[in-house]
């Protein structure tokens, strides 16, 4: 079996070698999960709920361990990593309530009784990206397990360590063996086998639109369910009537959080032309003071990029662009890149159109509401975004007009585990989180019972 060296992006040191599973190991894991499904689906709803609550409690007992592991593996700031570990706990707690509330319906019919049931699908394959390894894993496995499915999870090659630890914690919490399996490996081996293996009845994928399209096409051969959360090129729209100081102070966090390695990053900044110069003057000190530091420091607001290759890709967007100003970043070993603000000359600029997935913000002025909406929608993506205004009517009009699955007014929040999350257009299909996510891991079965003698 091959192995992969997992590297700390802050100092380029090797953390450990992780075995990469091949097709034979993947098939064996899927078949064990299929066998475990036969008994897991029969676990009483209350007992399944107790096991998920116990899993959440064990995660809670290991929050700091998981957070420190993510700092080393993914370069996340310690503050972010603690939130991410806590999110896994909270999502498990939230969906622990689902088994006992997964109710069907009684539908009035003539000649009998008609009832529906939400039946689990079987084995669910979850493919997790490297940018948010812990929370995105939990968004998939928690509702899938709650609905009575078994899960085989493939972490990203670059960031497998917290997923592997979560797999160990699940067993420590008492989940039966093979109900939740973490299987490191290459995407074109393990992930592709999720798509082609007939026992895997649903694939959840978070990652690039290109790979998501390939998974969706492959899943069609077996009419296999998919949930896809893909790329984003999100707009942050600032109107002249907004609280400009607050909007400028928060803009760096909206795009530079996790070093911009976030599908929800507000990487296109649209500012109404009448306040454009004033806003840039407010934005510059907010960017230059953004703290890019060793991610283990409590004061760090941004850490390194995930790899040398990714740093080179991000840098390629800035070489010929009009740079307004930049922040600072550490030198030496590690894959550091400074927060950077670029002035877009037109909507055809490469940095304006493509998902950079790094700490790069592109800025463009607009005239009025209609142009702001048109510019925001001038992209193949539709995942997230923000708008800043004091006018409630405008907030509602623009929110309804922008084609994105998750919008915030006067804030940059995208994810709350009790509300739906997902994209429009080429940002994906399906919804994660919220009260209805568990239904996406079930089939509705209709049963008619004749009462005629």
DSSP collapsed to 3 states, 160-179: CHHHHHHHHHHHHCCCCCCC
User: Got the DSSP string for 163-219?
Assistant: HHHHHHHHHHTTPPTTSEEE----IIIIIHHHHH-TTEEEEEEES-HHHHHHHHHHH
| Per-residue tokens: 145 | 């397990």
User: Which residues, including other chains, have CB under 8 Å from residue 445's CB and lie 6 or more apart?
Assistant: 116, 117, 118, 119
Pick the catalytic residue from 84, 263, 264, 369. Answer: 263
Nearest to 122 by CA among 21, 38, 232, 243: 38
How many Å apart are CA 448 and CA 107, to the nearest integer?
9
User: Got the DSSP string for 306-345?
Assistant: S-HHHHHHHHHTTTTSEEEEE-----SSS-----EEEE-S
**Which residues on neighbouring strands pair with residue 429, listed in sequence order?**
228
Pairing of strands 112-120, 14-20: unpaired
| Per-residue tokens: 253 | 């966090």
Pick the catalytic residue from 84, 229, 301, 432. Answer: 229
Asked whether the beta carbons of 239 and 387 are under 8 A apart, the reply is yes
User: Among this protein's residues, is 263 annotated catalytic?
Assistant: yes
How many Å apart are CA 156 and CA 140, to the nearest integer?
14
User: Which residues, including other chains, have CB under 8 Å from residue 6's CB and lie 6 or more apart?
Assistant: 14, 15, 16, 17, 18, 73, 158, 159, 160, 161
User: Among this protein's residues, is 229 annotated catalytic?
Assistant: yes
What are φ and ψ of residue 198, in 5° steps? -70, -20
Catalytic residues: 229, 263
């Amino acid at each position: 079996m091959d192995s992969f060296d997992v590297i700390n992006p802050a100092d380029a040191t090797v953390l450990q070698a992780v075995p990469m599973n091949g097709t034979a190991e993947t098939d064996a894991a899927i078949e064990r999960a299929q066998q475990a499904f036969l008994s897991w689906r029969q676990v009483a709803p209350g007992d399944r709920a107790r096991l998920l609550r116990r899993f959440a409690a064990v995660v809670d007992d290991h929050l700091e361990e998981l957070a420190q592991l993510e700092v080393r593996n993914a370069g996340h700031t310690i503050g972010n990593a603690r939130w991410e570990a806590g999110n896994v706990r909270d999502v498990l707690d939230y969906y622990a309530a689902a088994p006992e509330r997964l109710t069907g319906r009684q539908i009035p019919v003539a000649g009998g009784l008609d009832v529906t049931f939400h039946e689990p699908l079987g084995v669910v394959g979850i493919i997790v990206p490297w940018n948010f390894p812990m929370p995105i894993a939990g968004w998939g496995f928690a509702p899938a397990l709650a609905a009575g499915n078994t899960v085989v999870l493939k972490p990203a090659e670059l960031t497998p360590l917290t997923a592997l630890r979560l797999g160990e914690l699940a067993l420590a919490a008492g989940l039966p063996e093979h109900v939740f399996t973490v299987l490191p490996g290459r995407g074109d081996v393990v992930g592709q086998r999720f798509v082609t293996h007939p026992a895997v009845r649903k694939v959840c994928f978070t990652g690039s639109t290109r790979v998501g399209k390939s998974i969706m096409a492959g899943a069609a051969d077996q009419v296999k369910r998919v949930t896809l959360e893909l790329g984003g090129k999100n707009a942050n729209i600032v109107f002249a009537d907004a609280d400009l100081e607050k909007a400028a102070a928060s803009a760096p966090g909206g795009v530079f959080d996790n070093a911009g390695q976030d599908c929800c990053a507000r990487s296109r900044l649209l500012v109404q032309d009448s306040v454009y110069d004033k806003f840039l003057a407010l934005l510059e000190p907010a960017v230059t003071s953004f703290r890019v530091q060793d991610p283990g420091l409590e004061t760090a607001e941004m850490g390194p990029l995930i790899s040398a290759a990714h740093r080179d890709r991000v840098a390629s967007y800035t070489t010929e662009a009009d740079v307004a100003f930049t922040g600072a970043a550490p030198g030496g070993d590690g894959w550091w890149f400074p927060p950077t603000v670029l002035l877009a000359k037109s909507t055809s600029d490469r940095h304006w159109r493509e998902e950079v997935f790094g700490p790069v913000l592109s800025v463009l002025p607009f005239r009025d509401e209609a142009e702001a909406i048109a510019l925001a929608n001038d992209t193949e993506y539709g995942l997230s975004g923000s708008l800043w205004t004091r006018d409630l009517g405008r907030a509602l009009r623009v929110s309804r007009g922008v084609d994105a699955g998750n919008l915030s007014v006067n804030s940059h929040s995208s994810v709350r585990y009790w509300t739906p999350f997902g994209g429009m257009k080429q940002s994906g299909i399906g919804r994660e989180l919220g009260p209805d996510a568990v239904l996406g891991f079930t089939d509705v079965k209709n049963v008619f019972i004749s009462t005629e003698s």
